[in-house]
Amino acid sequence: MLAIFDTLRVEDDEFRDLFREQLRQATNWDLAGASKEDGYLKQRHTEVVRLQGQLLNLRLLEEIDADTYAAKAQELRDEEAELRFKIERCSRGRNEIIDIAIKAFEISQSLREKWFEADYAAKRRILEIIGLNWTLDDVSLCVSMRKPFDLLAKGLVSKDSRGDKI
């Protein structure tokens, strides 16, 4: 187990800090796109609410019949509900993505210490967190790592590398 944990650990403190910063920047870049989508969804939600008001006014002025009103009102309510769901998902996602990414990296860097301190339930949870599938190959334990741990196990690009050459 310790050998598996060691494949995830980045030994160079300077590089580990650089990786954390790059991870933060990449996540913030991705969140910029989510913010644009969130803005669009909020604009569309405002428009749908405005349309609902207009539709009600048309019905009150008897410019449209009850069946037309009911059908269009249902359509607008459905769209509004879907937009509220998407807005909530965007908001929640933005706040959680950075935390999850940093926590995953942090846990990967301290697995050896956590393993020695853990009781059986905690050890089982650690194995569930990092491993997708565990198999026994003859006398060796083999693991299929969950994302993002699989990328760490393969090894990060070294700080002296250009990144485009192997």
Please tell me the predicted confidence (pLDDT) of residue 142.
80
Would 159 be classed as within a structural domain? no
Is residue 20 within 8 A of residue 105, CB to CB? The reply is: yes
Would 162 be classed as within a structural domain? no
Q: What ranges in the chain are assigned the alpha helix state H? A: 2-8, 13-60, 66-109, 111-117, 120-130, 149-154
Is residue 26 within 8 A of residue 32, CB to CB? The reply is: no
Q: How many Cβ atoms sit within 10 Å of the Cβ of residue 83?
A: 20
89 is written with which tokens? 């998902």
Given a cut of 50, whether residue 76 has pLDDT beyond it is: yes
Would 23 be classed as within a structural domain? yes
Q: What band does 70 get if pLDDT is binned at 50, 70 and 90? A: very high
Most confident of 104-108, 124-128, 158-162: 124-128
85 is written with which tokens? 């769901």
Given a cut of 50, whether residue 165 has pLDDT beyond it is: no
What size, in residues, is the chain? 166
Percentage of residues of the chain with pLDDT beyond 70? 78
Percentage of residues of the chain with pLDDT beyond 90? 26
Domain coverage including residue 125 = 2-154
- Which of the pair, 121 or 153, is modelled with greater confidence? 121
Task: Name the residue with tokens 């090894």.
Answer: 155
| Cα–Cα distance measured from residue 65 to residue 84, given in angstroms and rounded to the nearest whole number | 28
Please tell me the predicted confidence (pLDDT) of residue 130.
80
Would 160 be classed as within a structural domain? no
Most confident of 25-39, 46-60, 116-130, 142-156: 46-60
Given a cut of 70, whether residue 93 has pLDDT beyond it is: no
- Which of the pair, 1 or 139, is modelled with greater confidence? 139
* Count of structural domains within the chain: 1
Amino acid found at 43: Q
Please tell me the predicted confidence (pLDDT) of residue 158.
45
Would 74 be classed as within a structural domain? yes
CA angle 14, 106, 159 (to 5 degrees): 30
Is residue 87 within 8 A of residue 41, CB to CB? The reply is: yes
Q: How many Cβ atoms sit within 10 Å of the Cβ of residue 87?
A: 18
- Which of the pair, 61 or 107, is modelled with greater confidence? 61
